[in-house]
A and B are shown apart, each in its own frame.
Chain A
């Protein structure tokens, strides 16, 4: 009987890891559909960002109360994984609490700590559910989340609560069996939380308690394996991608826009035609700005998969808070949805077949792009180093340079600059009016 359980476990574990690896590979492929960009300079600063922003969750602490609750869930997730290692080994080897003889008196202390974390995760997730569904918090009320995204968030929180409850119940049943001196249940000493829950099972028969313990053990680990495979389809993927995203975050001042060397070169030849003979003319007609996800950089696409749709960006966006259509969070969600769609298209057809859709317009409208003030509030707020502004600006470049699509006032501003070197209808000599007034 034991060997059947072991076999079932190994199969479940193998399938879960295999499926997750397949999905992770697909996402990696999707991200690499983006344009190349070298982001490996200054590794010291990049590691500092990983430590402060990803491990330390520095930006979360702009709202300390939520940050502490989120930190419980995060620490719980990371630290309870040590316990999961034991569960997996037990599953494969057919042992029970393999680490007890190794760790001795340290074992109940460690499990006690995990249990406290589990309880904190459970309580934090319950508070998060209330924040999302009962309290009217602006960023959770937004139409961005209508449909699947809102359910996704709730499924994640509910799953975490259930997993933690299973973990605690499993331990409580285990403690009950230990107290009864059952042969298979090795004595560990009392666990801090489940030790107090254990008397709840006093009236149950041995077989009932064992059934509860085994059921919880199986549901807990199967739940974790299922959750692992849910991640790639969910906003919850941030628990993994927040780390590389912090590493590859922009190191330049936020105000600096990416240069376009192709245009720099062309304008240089225009201003200094004598250089033309030295510079070989390039045959390829470059495309300016981004129309679809393949035109964005791989970092933009990594950003999209790292987004957990918390909406801090949109809550701080001056356009969004004054009722404009723009929502930086929606920019990221749209980018992810589109790149996932393109990835499926390529998988089905071998290479990308035109589906008549693009990120621009089919997902993100001109009106949204036009509302941005480039104030960088979205970039500032993002706890996982996402830059929605960069995508907005690349789409704007496409609109203006490839389609000559701009509001009439902007067209006027462009021609003023071109003709009078000022965005308004004033000539160069008008720049000296104030000087004359002061000098007279």
Chain B
């Protein structure tokens, strides 16, 4: 398999079907890079012609904007839009709900209008189209899985069902946490909290959510966001259950189960 950049496609005078927007959180960190690799593997296997921006991708500006720095947000957003428009990008898929929210909801006001899809919705579409076929008796069959709604996919954009439908095809047992869907508890990373120490309190938010996830008895915590991934992995560790409970992105779960 060969991952191609937008620049490479453009050099050959070609336009890929879709741009895979990777996002910073899944570009640099070794653990979250696995989400990127898993999703790229799925796209490749089902024969979707896709490109990445590579070094031409920049932060969407989400953490700066939510911390209050509109200048940096505007700089990032406008230069990203310049790049995207230069390549004539029409359709974007991303594994990060923060990037998804920003590009989908906040770029149009700045002249960036694209069809933006979060990878969990994209996976559901591929499943519905019969393009994703899983192997018989896959690794997750009969396992207990609990799904964590990220705030930026859930409440921010009202996407609750697509990720659950993706998990349904695994023949696993889905267990909901008490705080799920629109009542889902945040992992603690949004609003630029990822980049700073939490304020003074009784307990860390990710410890609270990690404990709740572990208490379901699930052996897999399914996430849809690289920030949630990092926070929940720590939360599960704090609960002392890192040996028996894995935190996995939906892309990783599907990639592992592909025929």
Contact = CB atoms under 8 A, between A and B. Distances in A.
A255 B158 CA distance: 9
B130 interface: no
B128 to A, nearest CB: 23
Contact of A434 (B24, B33, B198, B199): B33
A406 interface: yes
Contacts of A263: 70-71, 74
Query: Residue among A322, A380, A397, A409 with the most chain B CB within 10 A?
Result: A322
Interface string A359-400: 000000001001111111101100000000000010011111
Interface stretch (A138-146, A346-354, A416-424): A416-424
A393 B76 CA distance: 19
A319 interface: yes
7 shortest A-B CB distances, which residue pairs? Answer: A255-B156, A374-B191, A323-B202, A400-B68, A396-B68, A323-B201, A375-B186
B49 interface: no
Interface residues of A, number: 70
16 contacts: A253-B157, A257-B65, A264-B110, A267-B75, A271-B78, A271-B82, A319-B205, A380-B183, A400-B69, A401-B68, A409-B195, A424-B24, A428-B55, A428-B56, A428-B58, A435-B54
A439 interface: yes
A318 interface: yes
A434 B191 CA distance: 27
Nearest to A59: B182
Contacts of A254: 155-158
A273 to B, nearest CB: 13
B247 to A, nearest CB: 18
Interface string B1-23: 11101000000000000000010
B66 interface: yes
Nearest to A436: B3
B203 interface: yes
A108 B101 CA distance: 58
Contacts of A256: 101, 105-106
A262 to B, nearest CB: 9
Contacts of A288: 70
A253 B107 CA distance: 13
Contacts of A434: 27, 33, 36-37
Contacts of A376: 151, 155-156
Contact of B27 (A253, A270, A371, A431): A431
Interface in B157-198: 157-158, 182-183, 185-186, 188-198
Interface in A256-294: 256-257, 259-260, 263-264, 266-268, 270-271, 288-289
A373 B201 contact: no
Contact of B105 (A252, A399, A406): A252
Nearest to A434: B33
A414 B208 contact: no
